[in-house]
Amino acid sequence: MLDELIQLTILDEESPQSFKVRAYEKAKAALENHPEDFTSLSVSQLTKIPGVGKATATKVRELLDAGSVAKLETLRAQYPPEFARLSRIPGLGPKTLKLVRGQLGVEDLDGLKAAIDAQQLRTLPRMGATSEAKIGRAIERLGLTGKHDRAPAADAFPVAEQVAAALRALPSVTDVLVCGSLRRMAETVGDVDITVAATEPTKVLPTIGEQPSKLGVEVREVLAAGDTKMSVLTAGGLQIDIRVVDPSHFGATTLYFTGSKAHNVALRQRAIDRGLLLNEYGLSPASDPQPTGVPQPEQPTQTPPTSSALAASTEAEIYAALDLAYIPAPMREATGEVEAAADGTLPTVVQRRDIRGDLHYHTDRSGDGRSSLADMVAEAASHQLEYLAITDHGEDLAINGSNRLEMLAHRDAIRQLQPQYPAMTLLYGCELNIGPEGGLDYDAEFRASFDYTVASVHSHFDLPVRAQTARMVAAIADPTVDSIGHLTGRYIGRRPGIEIDIDIVLEALYRFDVALEINGSLHRLDAGADVVRRAVRRGVKLVINTDSHHTSELGRMEYGVLTAQRGWAPRDLVINTWPRDRFLRWVNTHRTATKEHLTP
Ligand code: DGT
Ligand code: CA
Ligand code: CA
Ligand code: ZN
In this prediction, residue 139 carries a pLDDT of 83
pLDDT tens per residue, range 144-161: 765 567 899 999 999 999
Closest residue CA from atom 24 of ligand 1: 261
Counting beta carbons within 10 angstroms of the beta carbon of residue 291, is it exposed (0 to 12), middle (13 to 18) or buried (19 or more)?
exposed
Angstrom CA distances, 210 to 13, 66, 176, 205, 222, stand at: 36, 15, 22, 10, 10
d(CA 410, CA 165): 40
Could you tell me if the CB of 152 is within 6 A of ligand 1? no
Same domain, 370 and 334: no
Inform me whether the pLDDT recorded for 76 exceeds 90. Answer: no
Could you tell me if the CB of 259 is within 6 A of ligand 1? yes
Residues 331/568, Cβ–Cβ less than 8 Å: yes
Other residues' Cβ atoms within 10 Å of the Cβ of residue 577? 24
Other residues' Cβ atoms within 10 Å of the Cβ of residue 273? 9
d(CA 325, CA 316): 8
Same domain, 450 and 511: yes
Would 238 be classed as within a structural domain? yes
Same domain, 533 and 508: yes
Same domain, 503 and 376: yes
pLDDT tens per residue, range 205-252: 998 877 888 999 999 889 999 999 999 999 888 999 999 999 999 999
Measured in angstroms, how far is the CA atom of residue 194 from the centroid of ligand 1? 12
Please report the atom of ligand 1 found closest to the CA of residue 260: 18
Could you tell me if the CB of 190 is within 6 A of ligand 1? yes
d(CA 154, CA 13): 25
Would 455 be classed as within a structural domain? yes
Q: What is the DSSP letter of 311?
A: B
Same domain, 317 and 404: no
Q: Which ligand is nearest to the CA of 365?
A: 4
Same domain, 357 and 310: no
Give the percent of the chain with pLDDT over 90: 68
Would 304 be classed as within a structural domain? yes
In this prediction, residue 562 carries a pLDDT of 98
Please report the atom of ligand 1 found closest to the CA of residue 188: 4
Closest residue CA from atom 27 of ligand 1: 261
Other residues' Cβ atoms within 10 Å of the Cβ of residue 130? 10
Residues 437/468, Cβ–Cβ less than 8 Å: no
Long-range pairs of 58-66 with CB within 8 A, sequence gap ≥ 24: 59/1, 59/5, 60/1, 60/2, 60/27, 60/31, 63/1, 64/39
Could you give the angle at the alpha carbon of 101 between the alpha carbons of 98 and 105, nearest 5°? Answer: 165
Could you tell me if the CB of 191 is within 6 A of ligand 1? yes
Q: Which ligand is nearest to the CA of 231?
A: 3
Inform me whether the pLDDT recorded for 489 exceeds 60. Answer: yes
- Higher-confidence position of 41 and 409: 409
d(CA 370, CA 247): 43
Q: What is the mean pLDDT of residues 66-81?
A: 84
Inform me whether the pLDDT recorded for 64 exceeds 50. Answer: yes
d(CA 83, CA 103): 15
Same domain, 532 and 505: yes
Same domain, 334 and 360: no
Same domain, 474 and 540: yes
Would 296 be classed as within a structural domain? yes
Between 306-320, 379-393, 563-577, the lowest mean confidence (pLDDT) is in 306-320
Q: Which residues surround ligand 3, an ion (CB under 5 A)?
A: 191, 193, 241
Non-local (6+) Cβ contacts of 96 within 8 A are: 124, 126, 127
Same domain, 218 and 268: no
Q: What is the mean pLDDT of residues 80-93?
A: 83
pLDDT tens per residue, range 432-476: 999 999 999 999 999 999 999 999 999 999 999 999 999 999 999
Non-local (6+) Cβ contacts of 201 within 8 A are: 227, 228, 244, 245, 246
Inform me whether the pLDDT recorded for 5 exceeds 80. Answer: yes
Q: What is the mean pLDDT of residues 317-335?
A: 98
Q: Which domain holds residue 339?
A: 258-343
Between 57-61, 202-206, 379-383, the lowest mean confidence (pLDDT) is in 57-61
In this prediction, residue 293 carries a pLDDT of 44
Could you give the angle at the alpha carbon of 523 between the alpha carbons of 519 and 529, nearest 5°? Answer: 50
Global pTM reads 0.83
Q: What is the DSSP letter of 362?
A: -
In this prediction, residue 146 carries a pLDDT of 58
Write down the mean pLDDT value for the chain: 91
Residues 442/394, Cβ–Cβ less than 8 Å: yes
* Residue that finishes a domain, picked among 211, 245, 279: 245
Non-local (6+) Cβ contacts of 209 within 8 A are: none
Would 327 be classed as within a structural domain? yes
Between 15-24, 303-312, 347-356, 568-577, the lowest mean confidence (pLDDT) is in 303-312
Number of domains in the chain: 4
* Residue that finishes a domain, picked among 91, 122, 142: 142
Q: Which segments of 169-300 does DSSP mark as H helices, in order?
A: 180-183, 201-204, 250-258, 261-273
Sign of CA dihedral 105, 110, 114, 115: positive
In CATH, what number is assigned to the domain containing residue 203? Answer: 3.30.460.10
210, amino acid identity: E
Same domain, 365 and 317: no
Report how far Cα 402 is from the mean position of its chain's Cα atoms: 28
Would 252 be classed as within a structural domain? no
Same domain, 234 and 376: no
Would 253 be classed as within a structural domain? no
**Residue 404 host element (H or E):** helix 404-417
Would 16 be classed as within a structural domain? yes
d(CA 84, CA 304): 44
In CATH, what number is assigned to the domain containing residue 457? Answer: 3.20.20.140
The confidence band for 407, taking pLDDT boundaries of 50, 70 and 90, is very high
* Residue that finishes a domain, picked among 191, 219, 245: 245
User: Phi then psi for 124, rounded to 5 degrees?
Assistant: -80, 155
Closest C-alpha among 397, 395, 388 to residue 429: 388
373, amino acid identity: L
DSSP one-letter string for 419-431 = GG-TTSEEEEEEE
Between 62-71, 107-116, 212-221, the lowest mean confidence (pLDDT) is in 62-71
Measured in angstroms, how far is the CA atom of residue 241 from the centroid of ligand 3? 6
